[in-house]
Amino acid sequence: MQRRIIAAVAAVVLAGIGAVLLYSYVNTAEARAMSKMETTSVLVATKLIPAGTRGSALAPYVSLKQIPGIAKVPGALTDTTDITDLAATSDVQVGEQILLARFAAPNTTATGGVQVPSDMQQVSLSVEAPRAVGASIKAGDRIGIFFSGDDKKSEQRVTALNMRGVLVVKVQGASAGQGDDSAAPSGSLVITLALRPADATKLVYGVESASLYLALEPKDGGSGTYTVTEQTVLK
């Protein structure tokens, strides 16, 4: 008789524990389901965003929308603050969420490599650090190229700003002084540039027959090329 009573009590206790566990599981599952149904804000493309579009110019292409929390993609943005100075590395289709990973420094890919237009050739040249803005040129920069040589027709030494807005693909070599800004850079750099075939030919000719200087282009653009001789410099 006593054994039956103990068994009955044990059954009741186990049933109670099971009920508590089931209740807890159902409540937890319901909470998880509700959290996934909660909405959140995210920037979504409302029209095709072409590759290369700056974050600062996204306003006409995006809008802030409410979507279920479960649908938000990791890295999705709610504003353009973090990508203002970046550019889209590929086309963003209508309806896609705006992701930080889809933007990088202008003229670069998402992995940091420089995007080279399909109609460009890549040409490398070696130049001493003082002739390359103190070795401060880096991949993605736009540079101007000066040639200096003897003009046989006028029998004068001529310097010309011959190329503008040339895209730097890669820089290898000299660097300025191990973090010490007062140390002058030394040695040479190997700089790879992206050029149209006609300009690439000019560059190779210049490397073979003239002296070169490189300059960082101004951020606000600039146009035109310039030529000076001894007479114009000393005028």
pLDDT digits (tens, 9 = 90+) for 188-209: 889 999 999 999 999 999 899 8
Q: Do 90 and 173 belong to one domain?
A: no
Q: Which residue has the higher pLDDT, 158 or 13?
A: 158
Give me the number of domains the chain comprises.
2
Q: How far apart are CA 147 and CA 207, in angstroms?
A: 9
The pLDDT value recorded for residue 111 is: 59
The reply to whether 2 falls in a domain is: no
Q: Do 69 and 146 belong to one domain?
A: no
Given 53, 69, 104, which residue is the final one in a domain?
A: 104
Nearest to 162 by CA among 110, 189, 200: 200
Given 104, 132, 155, which residue is the final one in a domain?
A: 104
pTM for the full model?
Answer: 0.55
Q: Do 85 and 131 belong to one domain?
A: no
Q: Are 5 and 13 in contact (CB under 8 A)?
A: no
User: Which residue range forms the structural domain that includes residue 222?
Assistant: 121-233
The reply to whether 5 falls in a domain is: no
Q: Which residue has the higher pLDDT, 154 or 16?
A: 154
The reply to whether 133 falls in a domain is: yes
Q: Are 79 and 118 in contact (CB under 8 A)?
A: no
pLDDT tens, 157-193? 888 888 998 999 888 886 544 444 556 677 788 999 9
Average pLDDT over residues 103-124: 78
Average pLDDT over residues 214-231: 76
Token pair in block for residue 161: 């700003």
* Beta strand 103-104 pairing with 156-173: unpaired
Q: Do 59 and 129 belong to one domain?
A: no
Q: Do 87 and 128 belong to one domain?
A: no
Average pLDDT over residues 41-50: 92
- Name the least confident of 21-30, 38-47, 73-82: 21-30
Q: Do 127 and 227 belong to one domain?
A: yes
Q: Tell me the DSSP string of the chain.
A: -HHHHHHHHHHHHHHHHHHHHHHHHHHHHHHHHHHHHSEEEEEEESS-B-TT-BGGG-GGGEEEEEEEGGGPPTTB-SSSGGGTT-EESS-B-TT-B-BGGGEESTTB-TTSPBP--TT-EEEEEEEEGGGBGGGT--TT-EEEEEEEEEETTTTEEEEEEEEEEEEEEEEEE--SGGG-TTSPP-SEEEEEEEE-HHHHHHHHHHHHHSEEEEEEPPTT-----EEEEHHHH--
Nearest to 80 by CA among 58, 108, 102: 58
The reply to whether 91 falls in a domain is: yes
Q: Do 172 and 222 belong to one domain?
A: yes
pLDDT over threshold 60, residue 66:
yes
Q: Do 139 and 97 belong to one domain?
A: no
Q: Do 140 and 208 belong to one domain?
A: yes
Q: Do 135 and 89 belong to one domain?
A: no
Q: Do 82 and 168 belong to one domain?
A: no
CATH number of the domain where residue 88 is located: 3.90.1210.10
The reply to whether 44 falls in a domain is: yes
Q: Do 127 and 203 belong to one domain?
A: yes
Q: Are 194 and 147 in contact (CB under 8 A)?
A: no
